[in-house]
Structure 1
């Protein structure tokens, strides 16, 4: 096994590492893999999973401080990036998966969602600043890690891309797959400039594909939808702490057609679910970082009418009470 291969010489400008669990004893393979990827996401194995052989390998190519590309093969596993983890690390990149083999399903990326989407996807977009839980089936997956500024070129609010999934069903998505596959073959032989350009091109293709899927690119009507999308999101962010914030107040304040606004937020589970998602996400951040504020103060500060309503909503969303979440965040930070 080659583990943590040192970066290439500075003249190359590409940092490469390779990791493979094959030479480890079967009882150590899944645990070693979990440790390897733990700086980004948690692997959630059962006791029986740990005892079974597990095949996985990954090559990572880093270009500068803001771009990286990984080529990974692995068996089925449950992955989670929780709010407790997010509150204690600084990973805020956007990650785009392209599955050359296998796929992902049961993706839960919104606190309002009780169960994950069962749809099997060839493409998955994730904002590492937001929670997600998913089952990644036995696969060969290529991943692009890029800053949110690139995503913002298409999505007025980059966070809106989180959790979006697509199948490879159009000539454009096939182009994305071919670009990613070519990059995986050629990046070991590229110079830094070519590698950077290829990673950026792949990420832009992916963001555009997700934008097309969301109806945010392609024509004048799409431009109007994108502008409306951004306007509504900015209004909600600005009024997140207002008791009066509701889907109806958004429509009235912005003088927009209710059906059009509601359609824009279908992917979020509806406009009301999106508002609640943002409030709960903000509450989780404050529970982790603002130890001087009580749970009640945080609840009322984010428009909840009582601490009991807030606790019920938080428990439904994250399967734990606010106080338990605060304790878990402190333990993880320690």
Structure 2
């Protein structure tokens, strides 16, 4: 049961819809496979629910809600991509109820967790000892080795299948995290990471999918349980996502005089040390902000030769023209006025 301004177009918008297969899903298939966009729409409305029920038969028993008549149609549309270490799914699913008994007919356990991230709709799950009600923005984990029952109402979001073989070192911790609403800064980072991963899947080769699947498993393990070993293993992935979040915030608030590392850390709800680590490779967060401001001011100086230098400095976060001039000269080797004069000469020559 799996579907900024600078972000690539969603992969689902670039894929051709494929009729949802009528046979049950093969959960033993771990070969990386490119994204596909499955849907029940090509089938007559009276058959759509049965197709979905058959597809899910190897995992859970599904049923329409009491108020819904299956012959009226049952729309499901989701992107799915097997990345070997995880199966990534994102899409929309009609309202339904479901149940799972831990011992399948074949007698073998299904060593899989499902990681949900709700974008719209609601999800309810109940086990022997826990009960959750998840709305938009929620993230939670369930195990297919547990008995459970639940329901969703017009769910839109992510569902990642996490095979136990990809998480052998942290299986106990993931089991402890099942059937609770996950929260915290690392969970928010994981949410951002998964959203951006979805936009990249269609561009990846099979080997890249395998590598991304391994990195995603490490990221999930680090963010859901907080062992120091796993945090260190996935630190690079975490810092990459953190850098992207901070970069987008900086781009949006570049002209604010009070755009400081402290403010960014506060707004993103992260520690200053985590922010500093994310920007170490580019010379630090304060230096990054200064360079972005200077480059934006440089572009405006060259393009708008009639605007006052002081006005341009002010628009790009510099309170004093003298501070702007000193920083500009250090960065470009000439003063703002000299740079503008060069631009005017080139324009005249052209």
Q: TM-score, normalised by structure 2?
A: 0.49
Q: Which residue of 2 aligns with 1:163?
A: 179
Label 1:136 to 1:80 Cα distance change in 2 as closer, same or farther (>3 A).
same
Is residue 133 of structure 2 the alignment partner of residue 118 of structure 1?
Answer: yes
Correspondences of 1:1-334 after superposition (within 5 Å): 2-3=18-19, 13-46=32-65, 48-49=67-68, 50-64=70-84, 66-85=85-104, 88=107, 90-105=109-124, 107-109=125-127, 111-112=128-129, 116-120=131-135, 122-154=138-170, 156=172, 158-166=174-182, 170-212=184-226
The 1:119–1:46 alpha-carbon spacing in structure 2 relative to 1, beyond 3 Å, is closer
Paired with 1:149 and 1:164, the residues of 2 have a C-alpha distance of 22
- Deviation (angstroms), 1:149: 4.6
Name the Cα RMSD after superposition: 3.2
Go from structure 1 to structure 2 and tell me whether the alpha carbon gap of 1:46 and 1:155 turns closer, same or farther (over 3 Å shift): closer
SS in 1 for 2:133: coil
Query: Is the contact made by 2:20 and 2:51 (CA closer than 8 Å) also made in structure 1?
Result: no
* CA separation of 1:86 and 1:97: change in aligned 2, threshold 3 A: farther
| 1:40-84, Cα deviation, whole Å (9 max, x unpaired) | 2221225652233322112221234x5322222112221222235
1:61 is paired with a residue of what secondary structure?
strand
Structure 1: gaps spanning 5 or more residues: 6-11, 219-334
Residue 63 and residue 152 in structure 1: after superposition, are their counterparts in 2 closer, same or farther (change >3 A)?
A: closer
How many residues were matched structurally?
203
Q: Structure 2: how far apart are the matches of 1:32 and 1:131?
A: 24
| 1:13, distance to aligned residue in structure 2 (A) | 4.9
Contact 2:132–2:179, Cα closer than 8 Å, also in 1 = no
Which 4+ stretches in 1 moved above 6 angstroms? none
> Secondary structure of 1:165's match?
coil
- Asked whether the equivalents of residues 86 and 129 of structure 1 are also in contact (C-alpha less than 8 Å), the reply is no
Are the aligned partners of 2:65 and 2:97 in contact in 1 as well (CA < 8 Å)? no
Secondary structure of 1:29's partner? helix
Between the aligned partners of 1:59 and 1:74, the Cα distance in structure 2 is: 11
Q: Retained in 2: the 8 A contact 1:98–1:122?
A: yes
Consecutive unaligned residues in structure 2, runs of 5 or more: 1-16, 22-30, 230-350
SS of the counterpart of 1:187?
helix
| CA deviations over 1:177-205 (Å, ceiling 9, x no partner) | 22111222211220123222333333333
User: What is the alpha-carbon distance in structure 1 between the residues aligned to residue 133 and residue 155 of structure 2?
Assistant: 17
Q: Following TM superposition, by how much is the alpha carbon of 1:16 offset from its aligned partner in structure 2, in angstroms?
A: 4.5
> Retained in 1: the 8 A contact 2:118–2:134?
no
Q: Report the alpha carbon displacement of residue 128 of structure 1 after superposing the two structures with TM.
A: 1.8
Distance 1:68 1:39, change over 3 A: same
Tell me the SS of whatever aligns to 1:33.
helix
**Is the 8 Å Cα contact of residues 99 and 141 (structure 1) preserved in structure 2?**
yes
1:66-122 deviation line (CA, Å, top 9, x unaligned) = 5322222112221222235376455212221222333422x112x245xx3335472
